[in-house]
Amino acid sequence: MTTSISAVNAGSSAASEALTKKSNLSSDTKAKLEALGIAVTDGMTESQAKAKIAAKEAEQKQNSGAGNSSESELLSEAKSLAADVGVSVSADADINDILDDIGSELEAMLEDAEGNPSVLAQLSTYLNRLNSLEDRFDNLQTSQNNMYSAMNMISTNNKIALGL
């Protein structure tokens, strides 16, 4: 009979540990997770929760501004990210160079931060922002190239129509 009592005690201990782990998150963090539609999992730490919140917010920001960015807006955002990461940028720097420098710096920071969850959460946010900027810049360049191709085609058609 002692075995069954021990098993019951072990089961109730495990259940109370699960409740304790789930309640390790602050009420603000829990509220943000629920507001963003992110499920709270057992054993989720505060830093993991904040990383998920930052990733979800970056995704929402990217989706809300997708396709509406000009090159100057993207350059401004890239310079802002560079300042956050600690990369110095010259006033006449090209956006490709800025994004490459940020990527290199983040790689170095990732190597230095292995095993430090609080730093990794912040680096994850920076990487999400960098990926968003790179995708939006690629989309902008593709749109510009398509526009230039269309303009060249119209030019050729006008030359043919005018017999030039």
pLDDT digits (tens, 9 = 90+) for 137-147: 899 889 999 99
| Token duo for residue 84 | 């956050």
State the Cα torsion 16-22-23-27 to the nearest 10°: -160
Question: 78 near 98, Cβ under 8 Å?
Answer: yes
- State the Cα–Cα distance between residues 120 and 126, nearest whole angstrom: 10
First-residue to last-residue Cα distance in the chain: 103
- In tens, the pLDDT along 31-56 reads 777 777 777 777 777 777 777 777 77
pLDDT tier at 160, thresholds 50, 70, 90 = very high
Does 61 score more than 70 pLDDT? no
- Give the pLDDT confidence of 87-146 residue by residue, as tens digits: 888 888 888 888 888 888 888 888 887 777 777 878 888 888 899 889 998 998 899 999
Output the 3-class SS for 104-129: HHHHHHHHHCCCCHHHHHHHHHHHHH
Half-sphere exposure of 159 (CA within 13 A, CB side): 7
Query: How many other C-beta atoms can be found within 10 angstroms of the C-beta atom of residue 127?
Result: 19
